[in-house]
């Protein structure tokens, strides 16, 4: 993509700016859709209707919400650390947005085609923790701080299973470049890593249960990393008001919101790229141009957004000890077993 732009515009800063802004063009409309989907699904799961008046069945409500948030006063608590308070939401969003740089949206577009893509995403998405702690600390509100602390503990714990699950995918594909990982799985639904990847049949059948378990664990750990129900201890409404973003209002709150939904898509995107073929079409070479690639990628991503929302409105929140138990005593040992077994199968 960058090469294409360079051929048009020459080697200037503009090329990089445009390439860097492209995921934003996707995230903003996606966030509107996701907010609407979240509210509509929440309502329909509870047999309600949700927005009905803004546009047809309330489809314009997210736009109205954004306009409202834009007009709202930006309050800063009197005792807050003003600088950190103002910085935190942007830091969280930057941490999330930086992750999008290594995500291959289609065979023709990846923000930065680096060979350490997986590693880069793990590293950069940890920046979100700093932002969350910053927000909680700077608010000078005990509930915010509690939320931030919980969130930090949770994200740090769940980095472990996430990283281990990524290792599984890297072991099979032999590359840390997400574009390569997606290419590896091209050629139909049977080549996706959930179903064992494009390996010889015997290996494939042996490997399949382990990749499937890894895929499930990666997805769950991903949900935990973005602090969504059932792992939303950071913003446990019944205990902590709203968690680390309690004191925020107006546009800063909107940035938090945007970061949360962008993070949801980032998690879905990683799961999709590593285990569900990324932009690869499920029908082999049919319907598999670059634009179709984008379509498949977004469709798969949105499916996981749907599942995340579905889980959110179904399951209650875990207790703190259960949360840690799940991470350290269930996910991590299972992943060690998976890594060992897959390594063994690949070597044999």
Partner 1 sequence: MSEVKIYFNNIWLAFYTAAVGMRRTFLHLFTPAVTIQYPDVKLKLPERARNRLYVNIDDCIGCDQCSMACPVDCITIQTIKGTPDQDLGTTSTGQKKRLHVPLFDIDIAKCCYCGLCVYPCPTECIVMTDVYEFSEYDRSNLIYRYSIMTPQDIEQAKEKLKKSEEEAAAKKAAAATAAAAAKLAAPATSAPAAPAKTEPINPSPDAPGQAKS
CB of 343 vs partner 1, minimal distance in Å: 23
Distance CA 168, CA 343 (A): 9
CB of 307 vs partner 1, minimal distance in Å: 9
| Degrees to nearest 5, angle at CA 337 with 334 and 338 | 85
Among 4, 9, 21, 45, binds partner 1 (CB under 8 A): 45
CB of 308 vs partner 1, minimal distance in Å: 12
Among 156, 202, 330, 337, binds partner 1 (CB under 8 A): 330
Site stretch for partner 1 (CB under 8 A), options 28-36, 48-56, 195-203, 285-293: 48-56
| Degrees to nearest 5, angle at CA 162 with 154 and 309 | 70
* Residue 200 or 316 having the CB closest to partner 1: 316
CB of 2 vs partner 1, minimal distance in Å: 41
Residue 8: exposure state from Cβ atoms within 10 A (0-12, 13-18, ≥19): exposed
Q: Measured in whole angstroms, how far is the alpha carbon of residue 285 from the centre of its chain?
A: 28
Residue 48 found at the interface with partner 1 (CB under 8 A): yes
Question: Which regions of the chain does DSSP assign to beta strands (E)?
Answer: 104-106, 109-110
Residue 24 found at the interface with partner 1 (CB under 8 A): no
Q: What is the C-alpha R_g of the chain?
A: 21
Residues 260-319 that bind partner 1 (CB under 8 A): 310-311, 313-315
Site stretch for partner 1 (CB under 8 A), options 1-9, 38-46, 75-83, 96-104: 38-46
Question: Which regions of 52-145 does DSSP assign to beta strands (E)?
Answer: 104-106, 109-110
* Residue 44 or 142 having the CB closest to partner 1: 44
Distance CA 177, CA 110 (A): 11
Site stretch for partner 1 (CB under 8 A), options 22-30, 43-51, 261-269, 285-293: 43-51
Positive or negative torsion for Cα 54, 60, 62, 66: negative
Residue 44 found at the interface with partner 1 (CB under 8 A): yes
CB of 314 vs partner 1, minimal distance in Å: 4
Residue 337 found at the interface with partner 1 (CB under 8 A): no
Residue 341 found at the interface with partner 1 (CB under 8 A): no
Residue 13: exposure state from Cβ atoms within 10 A (0-12, 13-18, ≥19): exposed
Residues at the contact surface with partner 1, assessed by CB under 8 A: 41, 43-49, 52, 310-311, 313-315, 330
């Amino acid at each position: 993509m960058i090469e294409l732009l360079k051929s048009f515009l020459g080697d200037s800063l503009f090329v990089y700016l445009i390439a860097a802004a492209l995921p934003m063009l996707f995230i903003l409309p996606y966030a509107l859709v996701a907010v609407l989907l979240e509210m509509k699904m929440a309502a329909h799961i509870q047999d309600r209707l949700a927005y009905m008046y803004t546009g047809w069945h309330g489809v314009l409500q997210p736009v109205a919400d954004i306009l409202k948030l834009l007009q709202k006063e930006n309050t800063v608590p009197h005792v807050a650390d003003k600088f950190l308070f103002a910085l935190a939401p942007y830091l969280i969003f930057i941490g999330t947005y930086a992750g999008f740089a290594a995500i291959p949206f289609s065979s023709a577009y990846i923000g930065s085609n680096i060979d350490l893509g997986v590693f880069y995403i793990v590293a950069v998405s940890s920046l979100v923790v700093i932002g969350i702690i910053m927000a909680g600390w700077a608010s000078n509100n005990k509930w915010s701080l509690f939320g931030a602390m919980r969130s930090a503990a949770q994200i740090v714990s769940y980095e472990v299973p996430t990283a281990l699950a990524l290792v599984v995918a890297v072991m099979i594909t032999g590359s840390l470049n997400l574009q390569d990982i997606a290419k590896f799985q091209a050629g139909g639904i049977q080549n996706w890593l959930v179903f064992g990847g494009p390996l010889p049949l015997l290996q494939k059948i042996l490997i399949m249960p382990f990749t499937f378990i890894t895929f499930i664990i990666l997805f769950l750990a991903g949900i935990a990393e973005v602090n969504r129900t059932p792992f939303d201890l950071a913003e446990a409404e019944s205990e902590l008001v709203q968690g680390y973003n309690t004191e925020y209002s107006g546009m800063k709150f909107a940035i938090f919101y945007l970061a949360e939904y962008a993070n949801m898509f980032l998690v879905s995107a990683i799961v999709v790229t590593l285990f569900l073929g990324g932009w690869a079409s499920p029908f082999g070479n049919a319907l598999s141009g670059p634009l179709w690639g984008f379509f498949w990628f977004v469709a798969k991503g949105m499916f996981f957004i749907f599942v995340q929302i579905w889980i959110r409105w179904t399951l209650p929140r875990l207790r703190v000890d259960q949360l840690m138990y799940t991470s350290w005593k269930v996910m991590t040992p299972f992943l060690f077993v998976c890594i060992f077994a897959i390594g063994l199968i690949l070597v044999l």
